[in-house]
Copies of this chain bind each other. A is one copy, B any other.
Amino acid sequence: MTDRDFSLFQIALQQRATSVEALLGNLLSDRPQTGEISRPPRLMAAIRHSVLNGGKRLRPFLVMESAALFKADNLAALRVAAALECVHSYSLVHDDLPAMDNDDLRRGQPTVHRKFDEATAILAGDSLLTYAFELIASEETELDPQARIALIATLARAAGVGGMVGGQALDLEAEMVKPDEQGIIRLQAMKTGALIRFACEAGAIVGHAGLEDRERLAEYGAAIGLAFQLADDLLDVTADASHMGKATRKDAAAGKATLVSMHGIEWTQRQLVGLIAQAEELLAPFGEKAALLKDAARFIAERQS
């Protein structure tokens, strides 16, 4: 680990967030686009409420910084980043529903089903998932069809039954039958890991990286995805709700087993140090170009909210 502080990373994260929010705000307007009949204003308002919420935009940042390693077209990377943020937002909207986590707050704001209604929240999530694929497939994403198809196939796998949604289903089942350690690791690799892994792999695809580099970025994504989840579980134990903008200590209250509850706080912190080292090693071949991605690994592991 270096002594470098997070100020450069924070500035870059903020810059990327501003770009992706500007694009999303523009794309998710009430104005129908080519091939669309009309856009229902209330549905669009619910979609914007869920997406334009001041999130950190970590996944978009990972797409864009990974793409930058390969001198990728910046606008194409931005559109893929926006699409991924739509998938992330959809997953949160559906996850917050009464039948799922039944959350009232997200980033200190009412969740979509609380501010609008449950039916609108279901449709807003469905819309965002659909829109992510439309955004990547569009000719305005200036990438050859081969790269766009690879992105769509990889995203669909990361988000589907063998990835994020499958992880959410395993999480539901875990309330009935508690998983063992391997089960928890698999669940988390699917539920939160798959999309973060995709973010980094997507950057490599946008940048037309070779297969070896693409796999290297995917592995880096998997490592920081695991770190993200461990840090999240740790925060659930140590942080308070006002700091997080959402309910905390939910895992313990729900009797949910996590690696933190299984192995304790110190073990988890050692794992996080190991994952940062692994991420840095994977990025070593890219040298100084990967400095911000190395920061991202540390930021994810050490974050306080």
List chain A positions with a Cβ less than 8 A from chain B.
32-33, 35-40, 42-44, 47, 90, 94, 97, 99-100, 117-120, 122-123, 125-127, 129-131, 133-134, 137-139, 144-146, 148-149, 152-154, 156-157, 159-163, 165-166, 168-170, 172-173, 186, 189-190, 194
Contact = CB atoms under 8 A, between A and B. Distances in A.
Contacts of A123: 94, 165, 168-169, 172
A91 B143 CA distance: 30
Given A37-B163, A40-B173, A127-B161, 19 more contacts: A36-B157, A36-B160, A39-B162, A40-B166, A40-B169, A40-B170, A42-B173, A94-B122, A99-B117, A120-B169, A120-B172, A125-B126, A126-B126, A126-B129, A129-B130, A130-B165, A131-B160, A133-B152, A145-B145
Nearest to A36: B162
- Please state the number of chain copies in the assembly: 2
A137 B205 CA distance: 15
Contact of A126 (B33, B39, B165): B165
A40 B161 contact: yes
